Amino acid sequence: MELIFEKSRPGRAAGTVPASDVPETALERLIGPELLRDTLNLPELAEVDIVRHYTRLSRRNFGVDVGFYPLGSCTMKYNPKINERVAGLDGFTALHPYAPEAFVQGNLQLLYELAGYLSEICGMADFTLQPAAGAHGELTGVMIIKKHFERKGQRRSTILIPDTAHGTNPASVALCGFQVATVRSDAEGGVDVGHLRELMTKDVAGLMLTNPNTLGLFERNIEEVAHIVHRKGGLLYCDGANANALVGVTRPGDLGFDIIQLNLHKTFSTPHGCGGPGSGPVGVKRHLVPFLPVPRVVKRGRRYRWSEDFPHSIGRVRSFYGNFNVMVKAYAYIRSIGAAGMRRVSENAVLNANYIKERLRGHYQLAYDRTCMHECVFTGEKQLRESGVHTTDIAKRLLDYGYHPPTIYFPLIVREAIMIEPTETESKETLDEFCEAMISIAREARENPDLVRSAPLTTPVRRLDDVLAARKPDVCWTVCQGE
């Protein structure tokens, strides 16, 4: 498809700018010619060109509203439309972040209550809503760990992370100046408790654990794991990106976690927007509350206000207060479904994942044969061994069947991994149809492997050359348009 720059025609224009109601002094006089630019190379199009361009682009994009999106660890559930509508209210969108507190009591109430709901859901003492995404929440959480030991006058240099963890975990830890030590998984896909005990010394600040982990499995030994970490004075961090399996059923705080980040764009159904915005609130137990980022909303009587008066805070991790408009959607979602709805989320997310696991188990090999939580992980090793079909090929063939493929090649400890997360908003029919497609692909892999390897056949473009893109990077369009 043509680039917007290729559609540009000199002299065409869409957005017009109002006439000035104040004197128009020459910019050279007001600013100085040496600071001004002489060319402005932006595309020139009429409004209809722009609308058609982006509408066509949108038709080359697959979202949850288009079809089933079982992308493991990403929790691509349906995003209720009422949330979009309320988040679009002028009363929420039109306020400046420095608007006087008297003007924003509704916003402050919403933030205060949302932090309270998340605390209740997770069994934590309080939450900060400032982090802008899950990984940003992780970073904030690790900073809180750092601060905790700094206050105690202890130097601890290492944080433990299981080998199943998402890549953001080690990256977040490294960004806080800690070393990463990797804890092995045991034969059942959980933390190898023996290895953890070996690694957990007084030099270790804590363990960062995803629970349920990225194999979709609950850490059965969580009690012992927490005990091992706490006995050596360490803190237990929960990557809560997978909370969709737990909400309303169990609380990470009760399980022994000291800190958790939630991904509102996953569990709390705020759409992911092709990669963001997200929101990654961080909850902590009472002893860590003083370290939360500033500012924080406080309530006096019926009035809410911002306070920076927390001398032990790690400081700020973002400008203003975080992704406020995302929080409006999460708040509306929690108020819609309530406590019983929360429980139904987990129950049905787990039901759906186990259903897929059972329906596909004769056709694909399971990575770990246990009851799973919100996602199940298969390996395409059988297909690779028997017909030379890779997991990538299976994923690409799914495109021809009209599905977004599952997450593939993650977690790293599973070769040829296929990680399926259906979420609770998908019906039995959808799951059955998807399973039929997966079963057909398994058959095709046996009977006609070339067909699978040449997929996709029906998409606007076919397999793209990643190697070329990396070897000769072309990351912006440089053809000169003239002025």
Partner 1 sequence: MDYVPHTPGEQKEMLKVIGVGDLEDLFADIPAKYRLGGLLNLPPPLSEQEIWEHMGRLAARNRLPGATLTGAGAYHHYIPAVVSHVVGRSEFYTAYTPYQAEISQGILQAIYEYQTMITRLTGTQVANASMYDGATAMAEAAVLSAKSLGRSRLLVGRSVHPEYRKVVGTYAWANGYACEEIPFGATGRLEQAALRELLDDKTAAVLVQSPNFFGVIEDIGPLADLAHSRGALLVAGFTDPTSLGILKAPGDSGADFVVGEGQSFGNPMNYGGPYLGILASTEAFMRKIPGRLVGATVDREGRRGYVLTLQTREQHIRREKATSNICSNEALCMLAAAVYLACLGKNLKRLAALNVWKANYLKEALSALPGWRPLFTGPVYNEFAMSCPDAGAANRRLEKAGFTGGYDLSKDYPELGGGILFCATEMLRREDMDKAVSLLK
Ligand X SMILES: Cc1ncc(COP(=O)(O)O)c(C=O)c1O
**365 lies in the binding site for partner 1 (CB under 8 A):** no
**278 lies in the binding site for ligand X (CB under 6 A):** yes
Please identify which residue in 16, 301, 362, 482 interacts with partner 1, judged by CB under 8 A: 16
- Total site size for partner 1, rule CB under 8 A: 200
Using CB under 6 A as the binding rule, the residues of this chain from 193 to 212 that contact ligand X are: 210
**480 lies in the binding site for partner 1 (CB under 8 A):** no
**41 lies in the binding site for partner 1 (CB under 8 A):** yes
Comparing CB distances to ligand X, the nearer of 135 and 160 is 135
Q: How far is CA 96 from CA 129, 130, 320, 451, in A?
A: 18, 16, 10, 55
Which partner from the list ligand X, partner 1, none does 73 bind, CB cut-off 5 to 8 Å by kind? ligand X
Using CB under 8 A as the binding rule, the residues of this chain from 95 to 134 that contact partner 1 are: 95-100, 102-107, 109-110, 117, 120-121, 132-134
* Residue 283, H or E segment: strand 282-284
Please identify which residue in 334, 360, 377, 417 interacts with partner 1, judged by CB under 8 A: 334
What strands, in cross-sheet order, belong to the sheet with 158-162?
126-128, 282-284, 259-262, 235-240, 204-210, 158-162, 179-183
Among 198, 180, 94, 188, residue whose Cα is nearest residue 142 = 180
Length of the chain: 483
**470 lies in the binding site for partner 1 (CB under 8 A):** yes
210 touches 169 (CB < 8 A): yes
For the bound state, the minimum distance from the C-beta of residue 466 to ligand X, rounded and expressed in Å, comes to 20
**477 lies in the binding site for partner 1 (CB under 8 A):** yes
For the bound state, the minimum distance from the C-beta of residue 284 to partner 1, rounded and expressed in Å, comes to 16
Q: Which two tokens stand for residue 369?
A: 């044969």
282-284 and 303-307 strand pairing: unpaired
**58 lies in the binding site for partner 1 (CB under 8 A):** yes
C-alpha dihedral sign at 79, 80, 83, 84: positive
Q: Which two tokens stand for residue 96?
A: 């400046």
Using CB under 8 A as the binding rule, the residues of this chain from 437 to 456 that contact partner 1 are: 456
Using CB under 6 A as the binding rule, the residues of this chain from 218 to 247 that contact ligand X are: 239, 241-242
Close Cβ partners of 428 (under 8 Å, ≥ 6 residues apart):
355
Please identify which residue in 77, 147, 156, 166 interacts with ligand X, judged by CB under 6 A: 166
For the bound state, the minimum distance from the C-beta of residue 73 to ligand X, rounded and expressed in Å, comes to 4
Using CB under 6 A as the binding rule, the residues of this chain from 54 to 83 that contact ligand X are: 73
DSSP at 20:
P
Which partner from the list partner 1, ligand X, none does 320 bind, CB cut-off 5 to 8 Å by kind? partner 1
> x/- binding map, residues 110-139, to ligand X, per CB under 6 A?
-----------------------xxx----
Which partner from the list partner 1, ligand X, none does 311 bind, CB cut-off 5 to 8 Å by kind? none
For the bound state, the minimum distance from the C-beta of residue 271 to partner 1, rounded and expressed in Å, comes to 5
Comparing CB distances to partner 1, the nearer of 301 and 473 is 473
Question: In the bound complex, which residue of the shown chain has the CB atom lying closest to ligand X?
Answer: 134
Residue 446 CA from chain centroid, whole number: 35
First to last CA, the chain: 23
Residue with tokens 């999460």: 330
Which residues, in sequence order, are bridge partners of residue 259? 237, 284
| Total Cβ atoms within 10 A of residue 141 | 33
Which residues, in sequence order, are bridge partners of residue 180? 159
Comparing CB distances to ligand X, the nearer of 229 and 245 is 245
Residues 212, 218: Cα–Cα separation, whole Å: 4
Using CB under 8 A as the binding rule, the residues of this chain from 147 to 206 that contact partner 1 are: 166-168, 170-177, 180
- Residue 202, burial from CB neighbour count under 10 angstroms (0-12, 13-18, 19+): exposed
The residues binding ligand X (CB under 6 A) are 73, 133-135, 166, 168, 210, 214, 239, 241-242, 263, 278, 280
